[in-house]
């Protein structure tokens, strides 16, 4: 599973880690876990109200509209600065791949939230 979108994802990770999910799946063919996870993510999202302004959207469109999955030093720094601005954070520079991937996922969600509010 990718980034954590809400409470449903946290519960899914916990039940998978503890083995509860596997045990329940052995007893019940369809326990409703996937639907419950989706519903809980919708009810308790972690980035629900985070939206980008017009300037941030332009920066994100420029950063996310590239052909390569490789992230250069300058792009990494731009992502960090944009993330800090959008989410009111103070992240320090990092070469941690999963940290950068998490920032990218959250920025994409904020971008999508911003686009949804216009339509």
Q: Can you give the residue ranges of every domain in the chain?
A: 7-43, 54-118
Q: Which DSSP string corresponds to 74-88?
A: HHHHHHHHHHHHHHT
Q: Which residues contact 72 (CB under 8 A, 6 or more apart)?
A: none
**pTM above the 0.75 mark?**
no
Distance of CA 73 to the CA centre of its chain: 21
Q: Give the integer Cα–Cα distance in Å for 73 and 71.
A: 7
Question: How many angstroms separate the CA atoms of 115 and 112, rounded?
Answer: 5
Query: What's the rounded Cα separation, in Å, for the pair 6 and 86?
Result: 18
The pLDDT tens digits of the residues spanning 17-75 come to 899 888 888 888 888 888 898 888 777 777 656 789 999 999 999 999 888 888 999 99
The predicted pLDDT at position 118 comes to: 46
């Amino acid at each position: 599973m990718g980034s954590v979108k809400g409470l449903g994802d946290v519960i899914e990770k916990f039940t998978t880690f503890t083995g509860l999910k596997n045990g329940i799946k052995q007893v019940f063919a369809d326990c409703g876990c996937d639907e419950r996870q989706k519903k809980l993510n919708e009810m308790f999202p972690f980035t629900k109200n985070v939206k980008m302004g017009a300037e941030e959207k332009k920066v994100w469109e420029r950063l996310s509209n590239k052909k390569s999955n490789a992230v250069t030093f300058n792009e990494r720094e731009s992502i960090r600065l944009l993330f800090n601005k959008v989410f009111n954070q103070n992240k320090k520079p990092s070469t941690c791949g999963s940290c950068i991937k998490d920032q990218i996922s959250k920025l994409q969600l904020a971008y999508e939230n911003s686009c949804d509010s216009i339509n």
